[in-house]
Amino acid sequence: MAAYKRVLLKLSGEALMGDDAYGINRTVIESMVRDIAEVVRSGVEMAIVIGGGNIFRGVAGGAAGMDRATADYMGMLATLMNGLALQDAMKHAGLVARVQSALRVDQVAEPYIRPKALRYLEEGKVVIFAAGTGNPFFTTDTAAALRGSEIGAEIVLKATKVDGIYTADPKKDPSSTMYAKISFDEAIARNLQVMDATAFALCRDQRLPIKVFSIFKQGALMRVVRGEDEGTLVHL
């Protein structure tokens, strides 16, 4: 039985690339959707905030020297592209998903409306929040903390390429060890790069825990929602 009734899954755009330089790897996204479907069909209500780094990376060279606000809006559009791709993959897997965008793009996605998002979750639909917070200078990590708080999620699941938070970069320092648990204050003080300080602070203030785990580890998502020993818990 799941330990959580409602969760917010934060997916980075880079996680959708697989081993590609940029863009969306269909095999990777289908694998992720299978794991998500297993969790949703177990009765867990799931919303997703998705990043756009994989799409934006393809135009990063042309963005050099660009105004920060303009670049951030381009990044928001990249998250919308990822959200639509994820919605399509879910449709093929038999899941019903709705994309809600913080930017108005009515031809392709609904605007973010909190009561509608809550109703969709109660109906067993997956809600994909795109375009971050709709504001430049705020990351999709902060959007995950914000949307998670707004929908009453019990935990933010930060899906990464590594299986938790380490004392140092495990690729550079093989002797580094993984934290089983770490407090918000310690994560901020140590300047851990898993999520930005604004997202950590918002989750701390809203008493919303974060679990950091690898989305590429088979069965990890289900183990996390069951409350099993998987990844790193960031807590008060």
Binding residues for ATP: 10-13, 53, 57, 160, 166, 169
Tokens of 10: 């934060």
Tokens of 109: 């996605």
Residues 6+ apart with CB under 8 A from 184: 200, 201, 203, 204, 234, 235, 236
CA distance 140 to 133: 7
Binding residues: 10-13, 52-53, 57, 72, 133-140, 160, 166, 169
Residues 6+ apart with CB under 8 A from 148: 8, 47, 49, 155, 156, 203, 206, 208
CA distance 144 to 150: 10
CA distance 229 to 166: 16
Binding residues for UMP: 52, 72, 133-140
Tell me the C-alpha to C-alpha distance, in Å, between residue 220 and each of 38, 158, 228. 11, 12, 9
